[in-house]
Amino acid sequence: MSPDGDWDGLDDADVASSEILPIELQLTPDVCGVRLDKVLSTLVPQYSRSRLQQWIDGGHVSIDGEVAKGKMTVYGDEKVIIAPQPAPEDQAFAAEAMDLCIVHEDAAIFVIDKPAGLVVHPGAGNWSGTLLNGLLHYSPALSGVPRAGIVHRLDKDTSGLMVVAKTLVAQTDLVRQLQARTVKREYLALVWGTPNVSGKIDASIGRHPRDRIKMAVSENMTAKPAVTHFTRLATGALDGRPVSLMRCQLETGRTHQIRVHMQSIGFALVGDALYGKPHLTPVFPRQALHAQRLGLIHPVSGKACEWSSVLPQDFADLIARAGIAAP
């Protein structure tokens, strides 16, 4: 995955503990003969089974005072103590001061309006100056949450709304919502050409077979399902070429999903140097893509929440040049 790629939390998101106190459990006879990791995943559902298994393997789970062994079964009368541990890689990044546009904050989540040009997560070539670094400075407690609470990404040059979890419990809940495809993510995109008024692109996305930087629509077994719904909002022209303002709604969040899907049906994004036509990219210095609307179920209150973001000035100026009124 490229360091600035979209990320929906399905492949990489995991949970680690931000709690200092150990978790104590008294097992009951109804779990007799069941494997320990399965028992713990049922009794402590706020943590993923894989993370619980890591803690068992790392010696951070004890049964009746003895270190638990991997894949052991229980009798049903034991006392289990779990000592939650953050993963080493979750502690590897430094806090850095930066201006963050926070449109919502409570005890469980942030909603951030990310500017274009900001990389979300450290990676090859971008080990500092990322959103993660800024989050750790703004809220040092996020050092105990995997990836500082990040559960999905926006490309470096895509602007707009992102949700960030402040606790492990909130992060696990948000990842599950993403897995269930219930998080509402709507984008505005300016594309070359005039697509149908509306449509649905249901095409799996995988790594490009010849260019490892790019993604592509693929039927390869390793490709992952991807679904994008689109609606044409308005048409205009740039440099004498037709363009269309599109609303794109994601069901999934694969790397570069909107960029790949729209290009696959013949309508590359304006300014997209990776997937567009090279002679057209100077019109705009980045892909014309903005995460305008975000909706989800609050992981604590259970209430439906929704936020929206205005177009950044460069995008607003671009559609004005195309003769399109701001949505």
Say which of 4, 14, 113, 155 is annotated catalytic: 155
DSSP state of 190: E
Query: Measuring CA to CA, how many Å separate 161 from each of 101, 104, 236?
Result: 10, 10, 26
Q: For residue 155, indicate whether it is catalytic.
A: yes
Helices 49-57 and 36-43 pack at an angle, to 10 degrees, of: 130
Q: Which residues contact 173 (CB under 8 A, 6 or more apart)?
A: 165, 299
111 and 161 Cβ atoms separated by less than 8 Å = yes
Burial class (CB in 10 A: 0-12, 13-18, 19+), 213: exposed
Where in the sequence numbering do the catalytic residues fall?
155
